[in-house]
Amino acid sequence: MAYGFEAKNDYGNIIINDTIENLHFIGKATRGSADSAYGDIPNYSGSNDTLDGRVVHTYTITCSGTPVAFIKPNDYSRWHSVIKQSVSGTTWTFEVMISGTSTSNPPDVYCFVNADDIPSSSETHGMQVFKSDGTTKTFDSRKQPLAITGGGTASAPPSDPTNSSGTPGTTSGHPWNYATNDHDFRSSNRYTEHSNSAANTSDAMFSCPSLAQACYKRQMHGFHQSCICYIFGWCACGYQDHWSTASWWVMYRNAFRLRSGKFDAGWTGYAAGYAFSSAYESGGWFGGGGGSYSSGTMPYTAKTINLQSNAYILADSSRYD
Amino acid sequence: MAHGLNVYKVDGSLGFSTADVTWQTIAQFTVAANATVANTYSEIAGMTVIAQRQLVNVPPAAQEDYVPNAVISNNSQTVTVSPQSGLSSSQCIIHVLAQDT
């Protein structure tokens, strides 16, 4: 550079200059409503009913520019992710999902924007760095610049989000009205881990949007054929068929967890449902009939989408408290 | 620290230190749905570069929403964002970071 200011660290890496746009702390987003659900499969009771559960907390912040949101867990054992970021005018809304059903210990969301988008300061001391145009700010010591203490590329989580081996599918040949789920839809042991010395369970916070999502269903078809009437031990009036279908489904979102020295990319169930239908044909003196029940609908056919790596960044939240 | 810059808060505690920094924000931009955008940053030539993607205004569960690909090329100077092959892509914020290794 021919002029200006440049700061390097002990390793000679450029940290501040007139081209790098440092992010600065704009504040913590305000937490609003919380929606807790899916500790188990809705309206189903039986084997493999238990799910991981999830709580979605909604946060808002008003600012110029586009904020980068960091999640500071207050319960580091749970999985966290920003599953939706939206904007209306200059108000940004973040939906943050955490695993489990307890609304206690919600995370904090720290937001950062470019130096040029931070509000003006009345403080009279400090240092500002501008681009060569003389007006675009890249650094302002008065506004808590972001120090990214760690990060890298978080590989995608395993394509199968379910604890059971293999993804669930459809089988036939079950007894009529059989409805016992044999697939563990929880995700607690489905993740990829990344070593990073900046990861800890005291003050670390992370930014890593949720990209991957998945939807899977277990479906069982049951069948039974009964004789309408017997005469001298023979089925004399024909047969009557009975059908049933039971299905369980869960939709997942990519979520993340901080451990000491580790950053994990895994899954948390976002939505779930159960459906059952039973029918039998008419025959002889017996009219046909049946019934069905469904709690929710799968948002799309069974698959994993957006199974891609994404950049993750870590920082020390205590610097901004 | 032997080199660099520390910034202290009003209470005297450390607020920022170049000694702690591992990644730098280079740029942030938004790519419209189904668009292809290639941005070049000559100042990061040869650095390690990563691009973070965040979908915008996408409902969490109502439909299939696809994130665009982000590819780093041209000696790490160019970030190209484009839809996945054969798929439509949703609006996406791109956050470019570099590490001066």
Taking CA atoms, what residue in B is nearest to A93? B57
Q: For residue A294, what pLDDT is reported?
A: 78
Name the pTM for this structure: 0.89
Over residues A237-262, the mean pLDDT reads 94
Of A20, A95, A149, the CB nearest to B60: A95
Task: Using a CB–CB cutoff of 8 Å, tell me whether B71 touches chain A.
Answer: no
HSE of A110, CA atoms in CB hemisphere, 13 A: 27
Average pLDDT, chain B: 87
User: Could you identify the residue written with the tokens 């369970």?
Assistant: A201
**CB pairs A-B closer than 8 Å:** 147
**A 100-159 → B contacts, CB under 8 A:** 114, 126-127, 141, 144-153
Instruction: Indicate the residue of A10, A21, A253 with minimum beta-carbon distance to B60.
Output: A253
A165 torsion bin: left (phi>0), alpha (psi -120 to 50), beta (else): beta
Residues 6+ apart with CB under 8 A from A248: A41, A44, A48, A168, A181, A183, A185, A217, A218, A219, A272, A273, A274
Task: Kindly determine whether residue B15 and residue A319, on different chains, have CB atoms separated by under 8 Å.
Answer: yes
A206 CA: distance to closest CA in chain B (Å): 12
User: With bands split at pLDDT 50, 70 and 90, how would you rate the model's confidence at A179?
Assistant: very high
Which residues of chain B are under the pLDDT cut of 50? none
**Cα atoms in the Cβ-side hemisphere of radius 13 Å centred on A155:** 10
Q: Which residue has the higher pLDDT, A119 or A310?
A: A310
pLDDT in tens, A205-249: 999 999 999 999 999 999 999 888 888 888 888 888 899 999 999
State the pLDDT at residue A295. 77
Which band of pLDDT confidence, cut at 50, 70 and 90, is reported for residue A30? very high
Set of chain B residues whose Cβ sits within 8 Å of the Cβ of A271: 61
**pLDDT band at residue A14 under the 50/70/90 scheme:** low
- The single-letter code of the amino acid at A86 is S
Disruptive mutation site among A1, A17, A66 for chain B (greatest number of B CBs within 10 Å):
A66
Specify the pLDDT at position A5.
64
Nearest to B66 by CA among B30, B28, B33: B33
Distance, in angstroms, between B37 CA and closest chain A CA? 18
pLDDT at position A13:
62
pLDDT band (50, 70, 90) for residue A8: low
Q: Average per-residue pLDDT in chain A? A: 89
Which of A144, A72, A57 shows the shortest CA–CA distance to A103?
A: A57
Higher pLDDT, A146 or A175: A175
Q: To the nearest 10°, report the CA torsion of A266, A311, B74, B40.
A: 140
**CB-based contact A85 B53, cutoff 8 Å:** no
A214-245 burial code (b ≥16 CB/10 A, e <16): bbbbbbbbbeeeeeeeeeeeeeeeeebebbbb
Report pLDDT digits (tens) over A123-156: 777 777 777 777 777 777 777 888 889 999 999 9
Predicted confidence (pLDDT) at residue A17 exceeds the cutoff of 90? no
Q: What confidence score (pLDDT) does residue A117 get?
A: 83
Interval A50-67: pLDDT, tens: 999 999 999 999 998 899
Residue among B38, B46, B39 at smallest CA distance from B98: B46
Asked if A299 and A217 touch (Cβ cutoff 8 Å), the reply is: no
Q: Rounded to a whole number, what is the largest CA-CA distance in chain A?
A: 107
From the list A15, A82, A126, the residue facing B21 with the nearest CB is A15
> A13 and B100 in contact by Cβ < 8 A?
yes
Which of helix, strand or coil describes residue A115? helix
